[in-house]
Amino acid sequence: MDSTNQLLKPLTTKRNENGNLEIGGCDLVNLAEQYGTPLYVLDEETVKAICRDYKNAFKGYPKVNMMFASKALCTMATSRLLFDEGFGFDVVSSGEIYTVYKAGVDMTKVLFNGNNKSFDELTLAIELGVGRISVDNFFELSLLNEIAKSHNKIVDILLRITPGIECHTHEYIQTGHLDSKFGFDLTQTDEAVELILKEYSNLKLHGLHAHIGSQIFETSVYGDEIEIIVKEIARLDEKFGLKLDEINIGGGLGVKYTESDCPPSTYTIAGIITDRLNDCVKKYNINPPSLFIEPGRSVISTAGVTLYTIGSSKQVPKGKKYVAVDGGMADNPRPSMYQAKYSAEIANGKDKPALKTVTIAGRFCESGDILIDGINLAEPEEGDILCVYNTGAYNYSMASNYNRVQKPAMVLVNNSQSDMIVKRETLEDLISHDVIPDRMKK
């Protein structure tokens, strides 16, 4: 069965009577005029559809907890939207913890993850009642127990392990292979468990946590990951008498950035995961654990687009034609970092335009600031609005103020209504934290 993450564009995308692109019943040209560009646009209906896909896909397994990977996109409005759709949250910083807290999320449905959590971050997590902390290393075990003891609390934890699985994604987004900065190697879990049982009395271990990567298209790796985790749980039970009852397999399901991408559906991976989990429960004779899954990109990416205004252009003699937009690597660093590819089209209607092959260049002072290298567009001209698809995940999250440029606004669209959920930064915002020392003032 198909699912929303396999779409290139938001569900509500269409051309209206004026020939303009429309999403969520909102004319994109009008949105660009009203809110300015660059502009992140998020389609509420598409977000809700993929949430329903996940819930329906996994309904055959009785104990499933959907945890949105907040690093993909973390704002108060999106956190509230996903919480209302039944999701918990995987968070990786005090900023993400505080954002979901202020959005009104039930903090018992939040898991704090990361490889170098600070004293202040762990303290905040305990004080705000974060439901699980995924412990990444021996230093953190000791630090967390110390903080928990000082607060007179028992903290519920998972151990993050490195399962030794490599996915064929970009090397920077592989997290499950052995040579990784994340998690305990399987040769270290016994020592960690012994410390928890014998010394760290303020920590309660519930299960194991692993990630195998991001933008995953290989379905078999999920089954391999399940086997490794369940086998380890059975081994720990046999050695220590532990009855661990939770496994967290991370997320990582891919999305369709271009027509050539063919990500598996949520229903496909759900079948593989639950079938393998049921088989392994019997094979290793353990009680069926609660399953935590942490989709991020596949929940939010398809729902988002970015609007740009086209500006200057340059035809290289006997070479490429460059068309520049008013954004680029500061609002979408993924092409520069990962060689990520995107699809786009002109949002404003044109009368039978001829297609031109162009390269979309950003406005930032780097030769590598290229958003799309070689794309067929309908006669791009100065003032046109360019709509880049599948930008809901990691674009806003990874945005910067490079070249001292303000970050874009973000709007949520639904039923012909648009609501600003992130304000556009102003010039005053840019300098609001700058300080000139008194000794430099005249």
pLDDT digits (tens, 9 = 90+) for 227-237: 999 999 999 99
pLDDT digits (tens, 9 = 90+) for 46-84: 999 999 999 999 999 989 999 999 999 999 999 999 999
What is the mean pLDDT of the segment spanning 375-397?
96
Position 31 scores a pLDDT of 98
Q: Domain 44-300 is classified in which CATH homologous superfamily?
A: Alanine racemase (3.20.20.10)
| DSSP per-residue letters across 397-424 | TT---GGG-PPPEEEEEETTEEEEEEPP
Instruction: Identify the band that residue 431 occupies on the pLDDT scale cut at 50, 70 and 90.
Output: very high
Say whether pLDDT at 164 is over 60.
yes
Strand intervals (E) in 316-379: 321-325, 344-346, 355-361, 370-378
Rounded to the nearest angstrom, the gap between the alpha carbon of residue 430 and the centroid of all alpha carbons in its chain is 26
Percent of the chain with pLDDT over 70: 96
Position 168 scores a pLDDT of 47
What is the mean pLDDT of the segment spanning 32-41?
98
Q: In this structure, is the dihedral angle defined by the CA atoms of residues 391, 394, 396 and 399, taken in order, positive or negative?
A: negative
What CA–CA distances, in Å, run from 20 to 16, 29, 292, 385, 387? 6, 7, 41, 10, 11
Pairwise CA distance, residues 97 & 92, whole Å: 8
Say whether pLDDT at 176 is over 80.
no
pLDDT digits (tens, 9 = 90+) for 102-151: 999 999 999 999 999 999 999 999 999 999 999 999 999 999 999 999 99
Q: Which residues pair with 375 in a beta bridge?
A: 358
Count the alpha carbons within 13 Å of 382 in the hemisphere toward its beta carbon.
4
From the candidates 74, 167, 365, 387, give the one annotated as an active-site residue: 365
Say whether pLDDT at 166 is over 90.
no
Indicate the CATH number of 4-42+301-431 among 2.40.37.10, 2.70.70.10, 3.40.50.150, 2.30.30.180: 2.40.37.10
Pairwise CA distance, residues 142 & 187, whole Å: 19
pLDDT digits (tens, 9 = 90+) for 248-301: 999 999 999 999 999 999 999 999 999 999 999 999 999 999 999 999 999 999
Task: Name the average pLDDT for the chain.
Answer: 94
Q: Where are the domains of the chain?
A: 4-42+301-431, 44-300
Cβ neighbours around 149 below 10 Å, total: 15
Whose tokens are 């040579």? That residue is: 179
Task: Give yes or no: 387 in active site.
Answer: no
